[in-house]
Each structure stands twice: as C-alpha cells, then as structure tokens.
C-alpha cells in the first residue's frame, strides 16, 4: 500500500528532493509551500513521471495557525498522512541587536511553532492508524550557540531536543521521529539568510540538497533518532560536547564572520 507523505517547504532545496525520492518509490504526496506556481509545476512533473497523486497547498507557515489550516484541509479531503516531514525553515544573518524583529518572529513561527503544531495535530492520527514516521529538519547548528545567527541556531536546538523527546515518548506507538541535522548544504539557504559571504560557506564545496535528502529519507525509514549526514559533520558533533562552551561560542563566531 502506497504511503502518503506531507512535506513542508517543498518548492525547492531539500524539501523538493525529498518529494522526488518519495515519489520515485510510488508514494503519494501533499506538498506545502508559499509559491503555488512552483508547486503546480512540481505536481505536474511528479504525477506524470511516477503515476502518483500529488496535492499541493499554498500556505505561509510562519503565520499563526497555518499548520492547523493545512491539517483541516487534509482532513476534509480524507487524506491519511503516513510520513510527516517538517522541512520548511529559514535563517537570518547579523548581530541580534541589528536584525529585524518581524523577520525573527516569522522565523520562530516557521522553525518552531508551525513544526510543533504539525506534530501535535498528526501524532494522534498516526497513533489511531497504528504507526507513522516523522522527520524534522534540524541542523548541525542545533549542537552549539551561533553568534551572528543567534535565533536560527537556537530554533534548531529546539527542533533537535523536541524531536528526541517525543521520539522517546512514542517508542511504544510504532511512530519514530527523526531529527535530520545537516551542515551547510547547497540548497539556496545561504542566499536567503545572507550567509553566503561567511567563512563557514564561502569557497567551500557543499553537499547537494539531493545527497542530504537521500541520507535523511533513509534515516527516517530506519527510525534513526538523530541523523547527521557526512562523516566529518558527525565527528564534529561528537567533539563539540568536549569543548568548553566559552571556547565553542568564540569558534562559531569566527566561522560565521564574513570573509
């Protein structure tokens, strides 16, 4: 029986690649993003290529109760969601005292509130269905404080810890929750967050969104709690816990500074 996946932020980057992977396995899709034009083109391509069903929903998930509105539309059409993939998110670059609150408020709404509300809404359905899988997009940023991207790093720490906690709570419900924690990825994120001139990404060969999506999808199917793609990334995450916090925050500040 085909599984249906709900993927947020599906109009590009990792979200789009996850949609392609799921479609290639014969799975149906519900894709959510702001741009209905992009979603409609993706729907046409995936339905034609893989003979699956794709529902698209245009929604700004940073707005209050947007996740609830998406859920209600899905329930109205009697679509069962087997895989929930909370991919949508964005960052901002700059000193906290100089950045704009309205952008950070939207970031918190999307990266934290919307993701949490989606989990809240669909978990009980998954329990009733007898199981399901959830993947939440965290980041390597979740493991350390991030000067020059303070709110973004903090939001991803929330995603990681929240995902690990509910994964533990759901261990006897046949539901797994995976926190995917990629490092910098060639996905358009840097341009959107004004981070492309920082030392952490400028001049670096970054893994593609396709590679990260494939790793994350496989980790989700295996029920892995925390998935960090890339050997060096996984090693760095382990090393972080042995570095004094005062040293770590200074090191991240250096990496985040513009070249």
Instruction: Please pick, among 71, 83, 152, 153, the residue that the annotation labels catalytic.
Output: 152
Q: What's the number of domains the chain is made of?
A: 1
Name the CA dihedral angle for 178, 10, 107, 58, rounded to a multiple of 10 degrees.
-130
Give residue 133's domain range: 4-256
SS (H, E, C) 70-103: HHHHHHHCCCCCCEEEECCCCCCCCCCCCCCHHH
> What is the length of the chain?
259
pLDDT digits over 38-64, tens only? 999 999 999 999 999 999 999 999 999
CATH number at residue 174: 3.40.50.720
pLDDT at 162: 98
Report the half-sphere exposure of 199 (CA within 13 A, side-chain side).
9
Among candidates 138, 43, 128, which has minimal Cα distance to 81? Answer: 128
> Which among 30, 84, 79, 37 has a CA at the least distance from the CA of 57?
30
Q: Report the pLDDT value the prediction gives residue 150, as an integer from 0 to 100.
A: 97
pLDDT score at 258? 75
CA distance 185 to 130: 35
Using one digit for the tens of pLDDT, what is the confidence trace for 135-157?
A: 999 999 999 999 999 999 999 99
- Identify which has the larger pLDDT, 119 or 2: 119
pLDDT band at 195 (very low <50, low <70, confident <90, very high): low
Q: Is 97 a catalytic residue?
A: no
Spatial separation of the C-alpha atoms in residues 237 and 13, rounded to whole Å: 23
Q: Which pLDDT does position 193 carry in this prediction?
A: 47
Q: What is the pLDDT of residue 186?
A: 85
Q: How confident is the model at residue 26 (pLDDT cuts 50, 70, 90)?
A: very high
pTM of the model: 0.92
């Amino acid at each position: 029986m085909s599984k249906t996946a709900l993927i947020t932020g599906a109009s590009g980057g990792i979200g789009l690649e996850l949609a392609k992977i799921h479609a290639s396995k014969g799975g149906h899709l519900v894709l959510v993003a702001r741009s209905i034009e992009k979603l409609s083109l993706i729907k046409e391509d995936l339905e034609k290529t893989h003979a699956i069903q794709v529902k698209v929903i245009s929604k700004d998930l940073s707005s209050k109760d947007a996740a609830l509105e998406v859920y209600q539309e899905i329930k109205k059409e009697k679509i069962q969601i087997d895989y929930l993939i909370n991919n949508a998110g964005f960052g901002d670059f700059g000193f906290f005292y100089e950045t704009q609150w309205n952008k950070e408020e939207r970031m918190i709404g999307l990266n934290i509130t919307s993701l949490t509300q989606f989990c809240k809404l669909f978990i009980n359905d998954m329990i009733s269905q007898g199981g399901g899988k959830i993947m939440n997009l965290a980041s390597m940023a979740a493991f350390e404080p991030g000067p020059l991207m303070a709110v973004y790093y903090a939001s991803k720490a929330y995603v990681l810890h929240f995902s690990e906690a509910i994964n533990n709570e759901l261990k006897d419900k046949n539901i797994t929750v995976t926190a995917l924690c990629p490092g910098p990825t060639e996905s358009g994120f840097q341009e959107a967050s004004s981070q492309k001139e920082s030392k952490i990404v400028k001049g670096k060969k970054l893994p593609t969104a396709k590679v990260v999506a494939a790793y994350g999808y496989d980790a989700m199917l295996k029920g892995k709690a925390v998935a960090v793609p890339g050997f060096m990334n996984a090693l760095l995450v382990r090393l972080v816990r042995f570095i004094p916090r005062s040293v770590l925050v200074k090191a991240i500040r250096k990496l985040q500074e513009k070249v």
